[in-house]
Structures are given as C-alpha cells and as structure tokens.
Chain A
Amino acid sequence: MEHRLKLEKESSPTHSGRFQFFFKFYPRPWPNLKVLLVYNIDFSYYILMEPITIPKYIVPDFAKWIDFSYFDNVPILMIVFIVFSIIYFIVSCVLFYHWSRYGMKSSGVIIAEILYISVSLALFLFASLALSSY
C-alpha cells in the first residue's frame, strides 16, 4: 500500500506533560480517511482514524488576482466613470450622425433617439448617484 507520510511541524504536549508527534497517513485506497499515528515520548503509539473531506476544487485566492484596494479609491472610480462617459459620448455621436444622415427622419429613428437619450440619461444619473453614495 502506498502512503503519503507527513510529519506535523508542531508537537503538542499532552495532559500528562509528555510530547506527542503526529504522523499522518493518507492511504490511497481510502482517500477520505486520515490515519493518525500518535507517538508518545516513550515511542508507544496509538492510531486515530478520522474521515477527511477532500475539496473537489482549489478555492482561488482572489486577492492575488485583483488588487481590490483600487476600488477603495474614489478618484480612480471617478476617472473610470469619466473615461467611460467620453467613449459613450463619442459612440453616441456616431450613432446620431448615422440616424440623422441616413435615417430619413423615419418614425423608427425618432423613437430610437428618444428611447436612447432618455434611458442613457437615467442610467448615467443612477451611476452618478451610486458613485456619490459610495
């Protein structure tokens, strides 16, 4: 039987004042079982068998991925908002140019203009309020 042996770094005192060393075995045929050999200072030992839960996946360490301290910085959020607004304004100008130049002043284009402007203004207002209340 193949075993994975691990020696615990810390030894812990028992109630009787003697030290114990822990050896953990993870037997392969029973992957959900942890076998703990507890050695006393006089080399007598006993066995503890404990069920273990092996995680199906590794929980990622998000802190290493994104530095969330940036979000704590309101001026940076303001810069993001301003840059986004500028890009939004440029694309909106392109759309309005197309609608006025090629839309032939049709009812569909007029409705689209009204809808676009009103919803955009409302969303920008909500975004500003959210940012100011952060």
Chain B
Amino acid sequence: MNYSSLHLDFDENVILEVRKHWIVFFGNAIALLLGAVLPFIILAALKIFVPEILNNFLNMISLPGNTFALFTFIYILWILFLWIIFFVEWTKYYLDVWYVTEKRIIDVEQKRIFDREITNLRFDKIQDVTVDVHGFIPTMLNFGNIKVQTAGEDNTDFFMTMVRNPDEVRRIIFSQHNKIGDTSTRFAEQAAKAKAETEESQK
C-alpha cells in the first residue's frame, strides 16, 4: 500500500481503512447481472406469452449471413457496456473510504466518478462517535451508520452509512482519541513542570 497521495506526516501511519459494507455494492452487482441475462428473459417471455410477436419479428429480420454471429456481436457489446458500468460502480464504492491514522481521520468521499472530496479531522477535535445498527439484516451482517461529532459549531460532522464492523471502527477511533488525549495531557504536564522549574531557577 502506498499512501503518498494522502500527504501523511513522516511519523504518521494508516491504522484502519473504513469502507461501506459489501452489501452496498452487492445490490448494484445483482442489478447488472440481471441486465446481462435480460435479453434471454425477454426472449423467453416473448416465446411463452406472445409468440406471434416473436415469430413476426423473426420473419421480419430474415437477414442474409450469419444471424447468430450478429446477435452474438450485439450481445457482447451489451455485456461490455455492463462490465464498464460494474467497474464504475465498484470504483465509487471502493474509493469512498475513511483512513484512520494515528493523528486524524481522512474522509475521502467519492460521490461520483468526477466528484471527490477529501476532509481531515484531527482526533483532538473529536467529541463523540455514534454507531447506529438498525434492523435485522444490519445486525446479522454487522454493518451500520457511524457518526463522528466534532467540537465547535462550525465544524462539520463525519458521517458514513452502512459501514462494516462499526463497533470496531468506533473502538479504534476512541482508542486513538484517548492516546492523543493522554499525550496532550502529558505534554501539558511536562510543559507546566518545565515552566515551574524555570521560574524557580530564576528566583
């Protein structure tokens, strides 16, 4: 993995990548699969329910040459179209991600193929992390919504729907948040101690 495009600090590493559950993409994949077999479904439906239309159509297109090859060609173009749509959808799914590092959360939001937004949130700004797992299927498949609330009114909250394993994500964010908090407290204590020593020595 190469995270150079995230412009991380030299001492910063990605701890966790948070993506939506595969069920989000699964719906699109099933729809595209249905699209792939749609010509056969239409053909079967015509043959069963309205054979006159099909016969009329087949009589009409008594084309010279290899008709099977022609229909194969058209069908392959249709499959290629669906194939590229599949990968456009997958790209939108896969590149919509949260990177949790030791210092911050980087929210990369891939709304559309040419619509991308990157937002940073440092752990010291985090106020609360809320997880919402609602319903039978989300509980069984372990996915839910997660919301990271930030301090201050002007800061926008981070929100991602249908995140896989949301409790684990919440736990890691909180543990990093606590580490940052402990470090800040320790630095503050050390700074106060150093200041007191300086003042004493000056006296």
Contacts and interface: CB of A to CB of B under 8 A. Distances in A.
B32 interface: no
B interface, over-half SS: helix
Given A59-B52, A68-B63, A130-B76, A106 B1 contact: yes
Interface size class of A (residues with CB under 8 A): 35 or more
Interface in A110-125: 112, 116, 119-120, 123-124
A80 B83 CA distance: 18
A134 B68 CA distance: 8
A72 B60 contact: no
Contacts of A120: 80, 83
B79 A134 contact: no
A80 B6 CA distance: 41
Contacts of B80: 84, 88, 120, 123-124, 127
Interface string A32-66: 00000000000000000000000101011111000
A110 B3 CA distance: 15
A119 B76 CA distance: 11
B72 A126 contact: yes
Given A62-B56, A91-B84, A102-B108, A131 B73 contact: yes
Nearest to B76: A127
B60 A92 contact: no
Interface stretch (A1-9, A11-19, A23-31, A93-101): A93-101
B53 A127 contact: no
A75 interface: no
Nearest to B116: A102
Contacts of B72: 126, 130
